[in-house]
Every structure is written in C-alpha cells, then in structure tokens.
Homo-oligomer: A and B are copies of this chain.
C-alpha cells in the first residue's frame, strides 16, 4: 500500500501582497499564519514562499550593484556600506516574510530570485553567495526544513553555482536544499512542426535529447560537485509542456526529485474548461509518482481556467497519481509492488544458503510465492507426463528445505497418475526436523528422507528426475552450479534436471539513491558487494537498437548460462569434477546508451528453464510473460564505487567475471565507456602488406606463438547454447577485433572513461564452497 503525494501551495510576493490581514483579536495571529491556515484548510500540506521581500532586494541591489557607472557621486560611500554588510550580513525586520517559529512550520522557503550564483561576474557571485548564506542562516534560525534555490542559468559557471551550494550545505547542517531545475530547456528545442510559441505539447517533439539533457547535465554537475550530499534535492520545474516522446526524461526518476513545481500555466483547458495536463506531462507524472514527490502548485487561485476552481488542479493531479500503473500495482494484493512495500531501493545482502543454514521464517517467506511453486509443479507434471519409460519414476528433491517442492512433486505425480518415489535430500539439520514431521503426518512411504550435502551424501539409488531450487537473483549466485555438479553423481545418464538451465542478465543502471546507499560505509569491501534490491528510483541507461555503430546488444543483455546435466564432463572416481574451472564464466557486453546519464551500477537478473517451456524469470521485459507476480526474487545490484558519466549515444563495454578457486566463487566487474565518432575511421584501409612482412617489427607485435589455428577442446565440448562459445562471448564487440576496436568499421571509437576493477580477488562477498 503506498501513501499519497502531498500538495504544497506556492505563493509569490505578489500573491502575498494581495492578501489582507484579518485581525481576530487574539493578538497572536499574523498574516502569514492566516495564509498558512487557509492553505491547510484547502488540503495543502504546507506553503512555499520566498524568505525575503522587495525591501531586501532593493537594499541588496544598492549594496552590491551600482545602478550605472556614471552615477559615481556616492560611490565610495556605497562601497563602504557594501563592505560593512559583507563583514556582518543580516536582515532588518521588514525585509523578511516570516519572523516567528510558528510561521516557519511546514514552510518550504524560496531564496531571493536576485541571487545570481552563476553570474559571469566575480563580485556578483561573491555577494550572491554571502546573501545566500545569510538567507539560509535565517531560515535555519527559524527552523525552516527545506529551502528551494534559484535555477542555475549559466552553464559556463555552473561549477561556481555548485561550489556555493556546497558551502551552504556545509554551513547549515540541518537544512535540506532543493535546486530548481526546469525539466528541459525550451530555448534549445527544435519544433518538428508548427510555429514557435505554440508549445502545447501535441506539436512538440524533441529532435535530439539536448533540451532535456542540458538541464539534467546542470543538475548532474551540481550534485557531483556537492558529492551527492543527501541533503541536496531537486525541485523539478514542470512549467514547459512535455512532448509525447518521454524516454529521455526517465532519468529524473533516478534522481532525488523531492518536489514537482507545477504552475497553473502548465495546465491546458479540456473541452469543458477544466484544467488538465498535456498527454506527455500526464504520462511523465504517472511515471514519477512511484518515487512520491511532493507537488507544489502555483497560481491555482488566479482563475486561469474557467471550471473547477482552485481544487481542480490538485484533484486532477491526484487522479493522475491514482491511475499511475505503479501506484495501481502497489495497491493491488498479490503483485510484487505490493509485496515489496517498504523494501524499495533497500539493499539486502544476498542469501548464502550453502554457507548459512536458513531459518524457518526465511523458508516461510519464500513459500508464500504462489507462482514459483505452481511453475515447479507444472514442470514436474510435464516431465512425468513425457517420461518415456514404464515403471516407478525416482525423483530426488535436492535441497528440500521444509518440503514445498516435495509436496508439488507428489501433487504432479497424482495428476499424471504415475507411480513415483521422492527422495528429499536436505543438509540443514533444523529444517530436517520439519521434513520428518511432514513425512510422518502427510507423506508416508511415497517419500524417503536423506540427510546431508548433495555433493557428498550417499543416495541409495540413481534417480530419474533431479528437482532443485538453488537459484539466486543472478541465477548462479547461490552456487547452484557447484551444488548440482555434486548431485549429478546420482542422476541417471538419461535423467533430467529441473531446472534444465538458467541464464544471468545485466543492464547498466543509474540511481543517485542506490549510489548513496552503497557508500554510507567507508569500508571498500562493503561498497563492492552485490546487493539484492527491489529497484524503484532507478533508470536503466541502455537502449535497444545497436547504437550508432550498430554493434550493441539489447537493453538487457545475456551474461552467461548454466546447463544441467553438463555434457562431456570430466569426472574423478567419486563422479565429481576435479576442478571448478568449468564453472568459471566471463562476459563482455556492449550497451548502447541513447541518453546521457551517470552509471552507478549494474542491474542483474536471471531466467531459468525448468522444463520445456516452463520457466521462472525476473528479466524486466519477460517476467510478466514467464512468471507474472512471482515474489521470490528481487534483482541483484552490482555497485560501482565511482560514478561513470556516459554521454548521449555512447557505448558502454561491461566486463563481468564469475571466478572460482578451490574454496570460493565470486564476481568481479568493471566497465569502459566509448563515444563513437560519426564519419571517422581509425584506418582508411588495413595495411595488410605491412602486417604480412615478417620483419622484426611485425614479429614482435604479433608473435608467431599466437595460437590462432588451435581451438580449445573444452570450449568445443560445450554445446552451442553455452556462453563459452566465442560467438556469444563476442556479442556486441566489433567484428574486427585485431587490436583496435572499430578498425575496418566506418565509425571510430574514442575511449572516454573507465571504472576500476570491482571486488578484485573476491575480497568481499565471496561464497564458500
């Protein structure tokens, strides 16, 4: 169940000037208290007002900015006054809008619009910063919780703006600052049709992503300079109407968008005269409602729209919120969104059930999942139905836990009418007590219990069907491959494994929130741990379509796969693999980044084939089809220690490894960013003549020992669906990989950045074997 967004009433100095104080005779009321009470009575949570008034503006202008250069009579005098102010900045009583603690309650303050923190003039910036600190000191004094800063306006001096904001954050340790940023810059828009000035949304189309990226890029520069201070938030100014194409705007969901600033002027009238928003803006608001920004409404009492009155604006926005797909899902029992309430963007350490024995409550939680067990039962049902041989079918549930899969196997057997014997094998001695209880009370002689680790425990007879559920959010991260290697000892040669295979997927992710969550610890190990997390304030940065060079994979890419049973395996006398080398994996993936963003981590998913076309999936594009409303797995998150800036149309090359020693399994990951340069070519043509002359030069650089004609037998041993074949590995890489990416291609690549290697040597989050 999700709570509702709150509304805040915005009042300008002009708005306030029109209000009249009504003396109630108590001597305690003030104009501001009356204004606030009126707003609350209309359903607003609070009011948003400037902290200072025209009197202050006028004095400040005199202090710092001479009216013109030829009026120099009192110049020295005014400069002296300016210096006096700089030495002791402070307000007079009649220069501020609020003066009492009660007046400051639930007020969102706005700093003076005179402040010009990104002026190209040094002195204007200097004095603006002093005035900003003066306003914030006063707001802090009165206990104002949040202050909205003026929008940055000058890209060339955004670093100066940001530095001043950072100084303000440090000087006021309890206040929350919110930078007002227009959702895009209409000055940069190209109208695809229609005439300039008719910005009604319908006629509007972004020709490229610059109009939006320009303002986001300012925000990104500011929060990066402020080192992602958690007290620095964003007031997204929705004044410009939005075009229908919204993909480029998703990034705002991954930012700390605390307020939406929505003036009455952003509304259009519907046929009946009521205020409504353009289709693009509707759609955007429905989307961003999942991170529940407060909505600041402005000018709603000005009668701009003929019908509905002041309340019509908030009623309409509330309607959008209620029809948001995310909010609807969150309010519907049985959905992941509903189940995960309170866990959004919350980082959890992945379970390590091989190393740690699970608690009964953990089993209980996962047994709630209606979809996972239904699909398992269906998979066993089909496997039994299609089983070609007569007679009793021997099933082993490896890792039986408290027995839910045993129950499903028995039900499936009843449905097929075939005779089965189920071995329930479990290593957790506590859960084994529960299994004994169920055996005695429910299962009888259809089930035999076996205690022990599936890699070593004796099993009385070879089995036909091996059923296991050892999957993690990334597929293999709970060591399913290693455990099932050990269980293959007692699977018949023509036996089948449920699951038959599972595949890990990756996508590049942006999320200010998750970045800040992972680095609250200064412990490097913790920063490099993968986490299980229900994503919410995130944006997948990649897009489909191949990118400018046409070599990139899809938005979410296959990382690697595991199959069971493994074919052509080399085994020792105990039927176990002599080393774990065959469970090492690596992937190099190339993602197309259509719109600029900051990479904070990788989102990991899995998809498993249980049997035939029955599966389990948390792949964002396929989960609805394969296992809708399955609750057992949130995605996994591989964080990066340092954010990596990715421009529009860049290529991101991600390397991910699954590594193994004789004791551990762990992941390492890193990424490189490139920008394709259209129209360039690294090499006009390849100087093959040079490469073929076997002089000392070419010999040195391409030693004759390169095993170019020798193939790996074990790679060949893996069949074509394995991630080990070179075609899969080279997915997304340029066709010609002879030392320079892009050689032979029409479009060259320029490297623009790189992350470090994460979790080297498995120093954190290794998994004991």
Contact = CB atoms under 8 A, between A and B. Distances in A.
Nearest to A170: B761
Contact of A754 (B153, B224, B657, B716): B224
Contacts of A66: 710-713
Contacts of A153: 701-702, 706, 739
B687 A121 contact: no
Contacts of A67: 710
Nearest to A690: B196
B682 A79 contact: no
Interface string A464-496: 000000000000000000000000000000000
The bracket for how many chain A residues form the interface is 35 or more
Interface string A679-701: 10011101101110101111011
A267 to B, nearest CB: 11
B696 A156 contact: no
A156 B735 CA distance: 10
B648 A693 contact: no
Contacts of A190: 683-684, 687
A459 interface: no
Most chain B CB atoms below 10 A, which of A87, A156, A672, A724: A156
Nearest to A723: B122
B711 A87 contact: no
B83 A668 contact: no
Nearest to A79: B570
A739 B218 CA distance: 9
A714 B156 contact: no
Contacts of A756: 224-225, 227
A199 interface: yes
B185 A670 contact: no
A153 B705 CA distance: 12
A263 interface: yes
Given A86-B578, A159-B588, A579-B86, A743 B700 contact: no
Interface stretch (A123-131, A323-331, A355-363, A507-515): A123-131
A668 B186 CA distance: 33
Contacts of A693: 196-197
Contacts of A310: none
Interface of A: 57, 61, 64-69, 75-76, 78-80, 82-84, 86-87, 113-114, 116, 119-126, 150-151, 153-157, 159-160, 162-163, 166-167, 170, 182, 185-190, 196-197, 199, 210, 214, 217, 220-221, 224-227, 237, 239-240, 263, 265-266, 570, 577-579, 581, 584-586, 588, 596, 642, 645, 647-648, 653, 655, 657, 662, 668, 670, 672-673, 675, 677, 679, 682-684, 686-687, 689-691, 693, 695-698, 700-703, 705-707, 710-717, 724, 726, 729-730, 733-734, 737-741, 743, 750-754, 756-757, 760-761
8 contacts: A65-B711, A84-B578, A155-B739, A187-B698, A187-B738, A188-B740, A189-B687, A210-B682
